[in-house]
Amino acid sequence: MSKEALVEEFGISNLKSLCFPYSVVHMIVVVGFPSKSGECAPCFGFRSVIISQIIFYFILEDFVFYWGHRTLHTKWLYKHVHSIHHEYATPFGLTSEYAHPAEILFLGFATVVGPALTGPHLFTLWLWMILRVLETVEAHSGYHFPWSPSNFLPLYGGADFHDYHHRVLYTKSGNYASTFVYMDWLFGTDKGYRKLKAVEEVEGKNY
Ligand SMILES: [Zn+2]
Ligand SMILES: [Zn+2]
């Protein structure tokens, strides 16, 4: 592969150079999911770009959502904006989109910032939107099935994780991240949830 092709492949020759973390994800995907024997080069390129963009969007969305959501749990914003979403202490799928319009705009930024930085193919953009909606509906479903994604995907939060956030009727309930668990772990906002999990394990209960 020529130097120019490598530079283009890893997406650091254009707008993406503004987005070094995306290039890192892309490199990991190219190395981790190598070209299959007989796969055409454009097919491999298209597949690796789609996978790396989607992974990058999930990571970036989770990061931005965490801080935005945590901000919404400050006194004034919670009272006037975010409390609408928290009307449901035991959420179900549809409640994932039940929120103050200002919150939709505010947290919606987390969903669009990844595509805005990387300029994806329309197919990738639609795929991302579909996966993001499925993710939030699952997180609000109230069900933790044996086939739930959190049983298979490492660091994935899921319904149990977000259910705790809604169940605790307190503005500093924790579990603010949308998709993964590591942001709350890193910033110590999952202590209540971890404590509950430890108690459940000792008592052999599964609420
Ligand atoms: Zn909340
Ligand atoms: Zn929620």
Query: Could you tell me the residue ranges of all domains in the chain?
Result: 63-203
Distances from the Cα of 2 to the Cαs of 7, 8, 148, in angstroms?
9, 10, 43
- The pLDDT, as a whole number, for residue 203 is 81
Distance of CA 159 from the midpoint of ligand 2 (Å): 10
- The pLDDT, as a whole number, for residue 11 is 47
CB atoms within 10 A of CB 171: 15
Report pLDDT digits (tens) over 17-70.
556 777 777 777 777 777 776 767 667 677 788 999 999 999 999 999 999 999
Residues, the chain: 207
Ligand approaching nearest to the C-alpha of 93: 2
Distance of CA 202 from the midpoint of ligand 2 (Å): 28
Ligand approaching nearest to the C-alpha of 141: 2
- The pLDDT, as a whole number, for residue 5 is 58
DSSP letter at 156?
Answer: B
User: What is the token pair recorded at 88?
Assistant: 């449901």
12 has a pLDDT exceeding 50: no
Ligand approaching nearest to the C-alpha of 175: 1
- The pLDDT, as a whole number, for residue 127 is 95
Ligand approaching nearest to the C-alpha of 161: 2
Q: Which residues pair with 156 in a beta bridge?
A: 180
Instruction: Considering only residues 173 and 131, tell me which one the structure prediction assigns the higher pLDDT.
Output: 131
177 has a pLDDT exceeding 50: yes
Ligand approaching nearest to the C-alpha of 178: 2
Ligand approaching nearest to the C-alpha of 68: 1
- Average pLDDT across the chain, whole number: 85
- The pLDDT, as a whole number, for residue 13 is 47
Distances from the Cα of 53 to the Cαs of 23, 46, 61, 118, 182, in angstroms?
9, 11, 12, 8, 20
Distance of CA 116 from the midpoint of ligand 2 (Å): 24
Distance of CA 60 from the midpoint of ligand 1 (Å): 19
- The pLDDT, as a whole number, for residue 186 is 96
Report pLDDT digits (tens) over 74-102.
999 999 999 999 999 889 999 999 999 99
Average pLDDT over residues 162-168: 90
Distance of CA 166 from the midpoint of ligand 1 (Å): 7
Under the banding of pLDDT at 50, 70 and 90, the label for residue 172 is confident
- The pLDDT, as a whole number, for residue 2 is 56
Distance of CA 92 from the midpoint of ligand 2 (Å): 9
Distance of CA 96 from the midpoint of ligand 2 (Å): 6
Q: For 23-27, 106-110, 157-161, which range has the lowest pLDDT when averaged over its residues?
A: 23-27
Rounded to whole angstroms, the Cα distance separating 4 from 95 reads: 48
Ligand approaching nearest to the C-alpha of 174: 1
